[in-house]
A and B are shown apart, each in its own frame.
Chain A
Amino acid sequence: MNLAVCLLCILLVPFATAGLALIHQGLGRSRSAAHAMLATLCAVAATAIVFVLIGSAWAGYTSGLAHTFQFVGKKWDWLGAEPFFAADLRPSLLRSPYPALVLALQMFAVGLASLIPISAGSDRWRLAAICASSALFAGLIFPLFAHWVWGSGWLARLSPLFGLPAFADTGGAAVLQVVGGLTALSIAWILGPRQGKYADDTAAAIPGHNIVLVLFGCLLALIGWIGLESAASMLFYGLNSVQIIVIAINAMLCASGGCLAAVLITQLRYRKPDASLSANGWIAGLVAGSAGCGLTSPLATLFIGIVAGALITILVETLELKLFIDDPGGAISVHLGAGLWGLIAFGLFGPTTGSRAALLLTQFVGISTLLGVIFPLVHLGNLLLNRLVPFRVDADGDWQGMDIRELGAGAYPEFVIHADEFVPR
């Protein structure tokens, strides 16, 4: 592994964080714009601190220390057992830079994943609750699943356990996107819809306030995504630095396919392309492609991206109109929906030396674990947290906007767009 290339890729990951932050902020209302960006910073900060001090010990790394147990004659590796507070970081650097690189990548990656629920809770999720939920995410949820997949946990060891290929997630489609998407679903359910979103079984359209920022965020996210996928592939799946070229090409193909599919579908359905759905198509393509980045062929990758882009246009509408889930940024559709599709698609199109059915089976087992273990854990954790730190802002704050309510000042004080924000009811 080329240390300099890997480090450079890790340092690109914050671009994806910045990109997602801009997308989420732009898709929310102007009256909560500053709050959304501050929430992003706070979530990234909280996750970095909690992950380095606690989560990294449980996430562990390949060939690191782990908690195991015996069941039906098989050894199950279920949790990392590294020292807390990253106490072994400096001594381990003398032996190998690998643990430090894994820690650095996961520290940035968990921050990125923690932004996904912020989008779903936009305009009504309190700052303190965002920090608490992000800390739970970085301290328990993410490390648990990251260890199973990236830290030689039981999902990565399906071959010695059951004679199956290891669950593949080279770019974080499951570990970051689906886990983040499941958290977003949990948050959207707990918070409920924004005031005025649903009345008489019809959904009111609440458009995003700055589509230029959203589209710029998409371009920024691409850079970070390539860095994230490259670093994860090198650290956890042994890809060499030359294969980064394929990862970059595939990432671009996936995003392009997703975006153009969404443009075409919205053009056909609404007679004009929808910019916010097309931006979501771009990100959905990146998310779906990250399951097997660098390992799938360019043609298969393009197909995966196109399906992801088409899928989210349907999912966004279904969630909003049929299930009454108010997800202002479309995070659940993009990260959960496209992430699950990417995992299945890797089973269909990923390279395999054994049978295709075995690879598909492995991916299904991973998906089943996400739905059967991670989601109940996430939802239970957030329900308990909601009792301690109420998630939802009060009714006045809902009407006033999160900027005025929680920060005391709006993001755009010179532009009074919504007069009702400043007029007493």
Chain B
Amino acid sequence: MRLTGYLLMVSGWLLAVAALLLLEGTRQRIAFVLAALLVQLLGLGLVAYRYRSLQRGPE
């Protein structure tokens, strides 16, 4: 799950760069970059969820 989270974060960035390279209009670019950020937040959420279950310290 952690690895998937990191892959999603990197993929989100690649999406954002691809949007800049492939699209011309500002609105289209913003839509794609926002979607990329959502993908990254999903990835961060997955990593956070994974660590959340590990965060119980020694009793």
Contacts and interface: CB of A to CB of B under 8 A. Distances in A.
Q: Is the interface of B mostly helix, strand, loop or mixed?
A: helix
A368 B58 contact: no
A64 interface: no
Interface residues of A, number: 38
Contact of A376 (B10, B41, B57): B10
Given A372-B9, A373-B10, A364 B59 contact: no
B6 A379 contact: yes
Given A192-B57, A365-B33, A372 B20 contact: no
A123 to B, nearest CB: 11
Given A357-B30, A364-B34, A372-B14, A198 B9 contact: no
B51 A357 contact: no
Given A361-B26, A361-B33, A364-B37, A369 B58 contact: no
A368 B55 contact: no
Contacts, number: 93
A74 B11 CA distance: 21
B40 A368 contact: yes
B33 A364 contact: yes
B44 A371 contact: yes
A74 B17 CA distance: 12
Interface of A: 72, 74, 158, 161-162, 164, 189, 192-199, 323-326, 355, 357-358, 360-361, 364-365, 367-369, 371-373, 375-376, 379-380, 395, 398
Interface of B: 6, 9-14, 16-17, 20-21, 26-27, 29-30, 33-34, 36-37, 40-41, 43-44, 47-48, 51-52, 54-59
Which 10 pairs, one residue from A and one from B, show the smallest C-beta to C-beta distance? A372-B13, A324-B55, A368-B16, A193-B57, A371-B40, A189-B51, A364-B33, A162-B20, A357-B26, A376-B6
